[in-house]
């Protein structure tokens, strides 16, 4: 069996990659474990030098890597370049901060000396999706590697070229040969690898269904895991919001990566007396988007990553319309090759519609009316997901209070769209998963928080 990489803009085959069987994958796990045994004793200066080298390579090869990303999953080319740049920033950030984050912490007890040390665990299995094929891997890998762990990557099969390119970057940056390996395996094989004694942790970014499967397997074999799952992020627009600015920011968030982002805005909840104005302005912003060839820098929305994903999204749109949603823009499958779907605006969304209940993974926005602020927050939290959320108000104190206490999500922003940042912890609550990536909290997920006590 082989993995096939298709260009989603044309439907044409780019490359095929041979699948690795379970036996071969287990052998590679052993190699990564041996590399870990040496790497775990390496000083932070050596680790940091490798990460700085990786940042240099990413910067130098930005255009080639971005083009590969656009070919395999259709990301608009300028956004692909930006993703590579963000990965380089991540490498540089943890090269500088990892030693500080993992510094032993003295604790006063009745002992002569007692402290908390942070020791690496071993090989971490990373199961990653296609939508940010570099960033999401680096987001998991850099903190883990800087903590002294090894990592094996099971990437989405449609971005196998990106997966192998990431392995090459790490090898050429001075990491031990098998410390980071890409395994071209199926999801079934990846689940089987969790039981290996050489796997000490699992990190997954993906769907709720994938999270349930991986979480159950990790629990069965007592393996630490971090799960970053889906999101149906609510953006609440209050009565005193700057409506023009809110409409612009909200549209930008909804259409980022052609709408294929776990933390992009999905549900827009507007208090009643601002609804018509926001609807008009938001429609205008959505109309500015240009659908087309993702290699054309003037195009802001590219194809969805796969035809089946477009079909699922279109079904959600049609079912919402059948239940009473009004479509102001888009809502159809374009003629021609590729898996394109136009920017789409659904309004008058009600509870029970797919646009209210489900994650819309594509350039489709759902507008919901709330009678007042309390109802707006109730609607925002009326979801099984809890990844990100935002509130728009000119009263920053009120906005902060709502972000802190009123919204149920792992990341809550005020007058800005939700995004990941190496300096801040990233992850969700409820069905959006558990555990954190990035910041000091992320690097401490896959370490042994060890108490040392000397009497």
Which amino acids are annotated catalytic?
228, 262
Question: What is the length of the chain?
Answer: 455
Please state the φ and ψ torsions of residue 49, each to the nearest 5 degrees: -60, -40
Could you give the angle at the alpha carbon of 68 between the alpha carbons of 64 and 71, nearest 5°?
A: 135
Please state the φ and ψ torsions of residue 350, each to the nearest 5 degrees: -125, 160
Distance from the Cα of residue 433 to its chain's centroid? 12
Query: Tokens 């690097």 appear where?
Result: 443
Do the Cβ atoms of 259 and 346 come closer than 8 Å? no
Do the Cβ atoms of 271 and 262 come closer than 8 Å? no
Residue 110 CB neighbour total at 10 angstroms: 7
Half-sphere exposure of residue 128: CA atoms within 13 angstroms, side-chain side: 29
Q: Is 359 exposed, middle or buried (0-12, 13-18, 19+ CB in 10 A)?
A: buried
Q: State the DSSP string of 70-127.
A: HHHH---HHHHHHHHHHHHHHHHHHHHHHHHHT--EE---SSSEEEEEEEE-SEEEEE
| DSSP H helices in 341-430 | 354-357, 373-381, 396-401
E-strand stretches of 262-387: 265-271, 326-329, 344-347, 364-370
DSSP code of residue 369:
E
* Distance in angstroms (rounded) separating the CA atoms of residues 97 and 256: 29
Please state the φ and ψ torsions of residue 195, each to the nearest 5 degrees: -75, -10
E-strand stretches of 278-430: 326-329, 344-347, 364-370, 388-392, 411-414
Query: Tokens 């003037």 appear where?
Result: 298
- Helix, strand, or coil here: 167? helix
CA neighbor of 170 nearest in space, from 266, 17, 35: 35
Host H or E run for residue 119: strand 113-120
């Amino acid at each position: 069996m082989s993995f096939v990489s298709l260009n989603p803009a044309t439907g044409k085959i780019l490359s095929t990659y041979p699948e690795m069987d379970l036996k071969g994958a287990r052998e590679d796990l052993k190699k990564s474990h041996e590399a870990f045994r040496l790497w775990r004793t390496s000083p932070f200066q050596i680790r940091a030098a490798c990460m700085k080298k990786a940042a240099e390579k990413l910067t130098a090869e930005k255009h080639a890597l971005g083009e590969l990303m656009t070919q395999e999953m259709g990301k608009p080319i300028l956004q692909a370049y930006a993703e590579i740049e963000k990965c380089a920033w991540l490498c540089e950030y943890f090269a500088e901060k990892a030693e500080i984050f993992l510094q032993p912490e003295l604790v006063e007890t009745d002992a002569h000396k007692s402290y908390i040390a942070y020791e690496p665990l071993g090989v971490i299995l990373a199961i990653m999706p296609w939508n940010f094929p570099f960033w999401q891997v680096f987001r998991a890998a850099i903190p883990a590697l800087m903590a002294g762990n090894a990592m094996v990557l099971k990437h989405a099969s449609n971005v196998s070229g990106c997966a192998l390119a990431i392995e090459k970057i790490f090898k050429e940056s001075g990491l031990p040969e098998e410390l980071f390996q890409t395994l071209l395996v199926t999801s079934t094989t990846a689940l089987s690898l969790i039981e290996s004694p050489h796997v000490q942790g699992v990190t997954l970014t993906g769907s709720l269904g994938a999270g349930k499967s991986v979480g159950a397997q990790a629990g069965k074999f007592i393996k630490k895991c971090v799960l970053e799952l889906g999101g149906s992020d609510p953006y609440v627009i209050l009565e005193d919001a700057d409506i023009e600015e809110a409409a612009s920011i909200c549209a930008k968030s909804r259409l980022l990566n052609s709408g294929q982002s776990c933390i992009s805005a999905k549900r827009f909840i507007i208090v009643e007396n601002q609804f018509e104005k926001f609807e008009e302005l938001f429609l205008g912003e959505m109309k500015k988007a240009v659908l087309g060839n993702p290699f054309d820098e003037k195009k802001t929305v590219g194809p969805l990553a796969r035809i089946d994903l477009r079909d699922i999204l279109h079904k959600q749109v049609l079912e919402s319309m059948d239940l009473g949603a009004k479509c102001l823009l888009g809502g159809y499958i374009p003629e021609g090759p590729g898996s394109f779907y136009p920017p789409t605006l659904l309004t008058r969304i009600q509870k029970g519609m797919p646009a209210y209940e489900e994650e819309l993974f594509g350039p489709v926005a759902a507008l919901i009316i709330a009678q007042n602020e309390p109802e707006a927050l109730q609607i925002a939290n009326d979801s099984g997901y809890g990844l990100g959320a935002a509130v728009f108000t000119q009263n920053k104190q009120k906005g902060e209070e709502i972000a802190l206490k009123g919204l149920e999500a792992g990341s809550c922003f005020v007058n800005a769209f939700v995004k990941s940042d190496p300096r801040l912890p990233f992850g969700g609550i409820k069905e959006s998963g558990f555990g954190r990536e990035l910041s000091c909290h992320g690097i401490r997920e896959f370490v042994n928080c060890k108490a040392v006590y000397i009497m």
